[in-house]
Structure 1
Amino acid sequence: MVSVSEDRRHGPWPAVRSGVDGKRIVVTGGTRGLGEQIVRLLLTDGASVATCARSEPDLAALAKSLPDDQGREALFTQALDVVEPGLLEEFVEGAAERFDGLDGVVACAGGARGGGLEEADAHDWAATWELNVGHTARLVRAAVPYLRGARGTGGGSVVVIASISGWKPGPQAQYGAAKAAQIHLAASLARELGPDGIRVNAVSPGSMLIPGKRWDRMRVAQPEAFARFATEFPNGQLVAPQEVARVVAFLLSDASSGVSGAHVPVDRAQNAPSAEGY
């Protein structure tokens, strides 16, 4: 069993194996926030993981921080920007060669460019689309030849990290539109790739409390505003990235062999997707 990590707001994380032992998985955007937690959980539970990020120092820091018992040889990293033509495809090919195949991919890299409608120009909308939807489509397309030969009863598994903003309206519109497209993309690809034994699902995290990020900064600098925002959650707690990572790991495991084309919110029943409300 793995050791239990502690979080003061959520209590101890249970030492429960996710069922990905021996799986070979690609995760984009794996050095920070949710992506980092997904990579760490998969490695802890015995998977071989390939991850990419734009910063080589961040990738080196991730590898250096891993406990020896996780086996650093199970981690393959490459610095790249997922929107650069050809680089993502080469990374997937390299990961498949390193691990002698692939069993799953997680499209976690994402984000938004520009501000509100009057501040964001056409380039911001196009960049946001490419970072979220375009990168996801290219990742899956590159991985399909390898996922057809996936191990286990669950076949190949694709997990698309969307967002609560993809199905509950809130600013920024370009980000919400791209995340909504990812949810639809997952359902469509599940139908298209099902005959090849490949499952595709979307996971929509709620507002996550990540150290140093937006909501954590609000918690520290604007405690009253943060407390009001917390009322959007029935139990008063924002979702933690570790909670989302456990759901992603389940969808990559053979235990979820009957789940495909699903949209899975992991948001603690959050109401409005932002502190500005609906």
Structure 2
Amino acid sequence: MFESVSNVSEGRAIDSGQGARGWSGVSGKRVLVTGGTRGLGEQIVRLLAAEGARVATCARTAQDLETLRGTVDAAAPDGLFTRALDVTEPERLEAFVTASASRFGGLDGVVACAGGSRGRGLEQTDAGDWAATWELNVGHTARLVRAAVPYLRTAGGGSVVVISSISGWKPGPDAQYGTAKSAQIHLAASLARELGPDGIRVNAVSPGSMLIPGRRWDRMRRDEPEAFAAFAAAELPGGEPVAPQEVARVVAFLLSDWSSGISGANLPVDRAQNAPSPDGY
């Protein structure tokens, strides 16, 4: 059984809270997740709602949000709060943060999950592709956190989770994507230092290649089984890509009080994957 322990150097008690009874969870926490209708974002939203969190999410397509809400509303304590928007549009993301905090009476956590890449190899990618990739990943994350900080501070602190990628430090195509993901990892570490005095924790989560129905690795496994097997043998010690549900559980942990001692970290969730693509390093 867990008990409170005394921190002699700081002269204060660290209470284990609900740890004595088990997983403290995210029940009742107010969390905003960007890009919550597909892939990892969808799994994060579904898990948080199932665990009793109050969840807001946004995506570009209203129909996708309607579909998600139709299956999540019953699990979410107050239903799922959604808004259709592009996270790169000026002021719209910030307005959604404000509306979510108003709906929930504050915020306890945010997850920057929207991301992606534009362009291909260096010679097929122009300055606009680099700028768009940067804004979708790094710019949107910075603006999300900036807008959420007043509400997290008012709540006495909170947790920010930035979804990066193993491509942020393991080189592979395309360079604009890996560069943006690397910047997200640095951003999380820097903001953890800056916002720590307010009780706000900031961490990055770096998934490996995720097995998402209909996406790249799922298609490769179905359409090119020999190539997929070779990729798995060379780069995936676990034998297959990580599932988005596995990554979502790590995100939920970082949003929970059980991770109170973790800030400024980058947590890979990749089953010890080596290179992020079949092309190797």
Q: TM-score, normalised by structure 2?
A: 0.90
CA distance in 1, matches of 2:77, 2:117: 32
Matched, 1:22 2:25: no
Matched, 1:123 2:108: no
Matched, 1:134 2:136: no
Q: Which has the larger radius of gyration?
A: 2
CA shift, 1:71, in A, is 3.5
For residue 222 of structure 2, what is the aligned residue in structure 1? Answer: 220
What whole-Å deviation, never above 9, does each CA across 1:242-262 have from its counterpart, x for those lacking one? 000000000000000010000
SS of the equivalent of 1:22 reads: coil
Identify unmatched segments of 5+ residues in structure 2.
Answer: 1-21
Q: Is this contact kept in 1: 2:53–2:76, CA < 8 A?
A: no
SS of the equivalent of 2:151 reads: helix
CA distance in 1, matches of 2:24, 2:126: 43
Matched, 1:52 2:58: yes
SS of the equivalent of 1:236 reads: coil
SS of the equivalent of 1:171 reads: coil
Query: Which of 107, 113, 136 is the aligned partner of 1:108?
Result: 113
Identity of aligned residues (%): 76
CA distance in 2, matches of 1:18, 1:58: 31
Q: How many residues align?
A: 259
CA distance in 2, matches of 1:227, 1:149: 50
For residue 195 of structure 1, what is the aligned residue in structure 2? Answer: 197
CA distance in 2, matches of 1:71, 1:180: 33
CA shift, 1:233, in A, is 1.2
For residue 12 of structure 1, what is the aligned residue in structure 2? Answer: none
Against the structure 1 CA distance between its residues 161 and 20, is the aligned structure 2 distance closer, same or farther, given a 3 Å change threshold? Answer: same
Matched, 1:35 2:37: no
What whole-Å deviation, never above 9, does each CA across 1:75-96 have from its counterpart, x for those lacking one? 1000000000000000000000
For residue 254 of structure 1, what is the aligned residue in structure 2? Answer: 257
Q: Is this contact kept in 2: 1:83–1:131, CA < 8 A?
A: yes
Query: Which of 262, 274, 280 is the aligned partner of 1:271?
Result: 274
Against the structure 1 CA distance between its residues 71 and 178, is the aligned structure 2 distance closer, same or farther, given a 3 Å change threshold? Answer: closer
CA distance in 2, matches of 1:245, 1:82: 21
CA shift, 1:223, in A, is 0.3
What whole-Å deviation, never above 9, does each CA across 1:190-214 have from its counterpart, x for those lacking one? 0000011100000000000000000
Q: Amino acid of the residue matched to residue 235 of structure 1? A: G
CA distance in 2, matches of 1:177, 1:202: 15
CA shift, 1:54, in A, is 0.1
Q: Amino acid of the residue matched to residue 29 of structure 2? A: K
CA distance in 2, matches of 1:123, 1:133: 15
Q: Amino acid of the residue matched to residue 119 of structure 2? A: G
Q: Is this contact kept in 2: 1:102–1:146, CA < 8 A?
A: yes
CA shift, 1:276, in A, is 1.2
CA distance in 2, matches of 1:47, 1:67: 12
CA distance in 2, matches of 1:183, 1:191: 13
Q: Is this contact kept in 2: 1:47–1:74, CA < 8 A?
A: no
CA distance in 1, matches of 2:146, 2:237: 39
CA distance in 2, matches of 1:169, 1:94: 39
User: Cα RMSD (Å) of the superposition?
Assistant: 1.2
Q: TM-score, normalised by structure 1?
A: 0.91
Q: Amino acid of the residue matched to residue 182 of structure 1? A: Q
CA distance in 1, matches of 2:44, 2:58: 13
Against the structure 1 CA distance between its residues 80 and 236, is the aligned structure 2 distance closer, same or farther, given a 3 Å change threshold? Answer: same
Q: Is this contact kept in 2: 1:78–1:91, CA < 8 A?
A: yes
Q: Is this contact kept in 2: 1:18–1:246, CA < 8 A?
A: no
Against the structure 1 CA distance between its residues 18 and 79, is the aligned structure 2 distance closer, same or farther, given a 3 Å change threshold? Answer: farther
CA shift, 1:183, in A, is 0.1
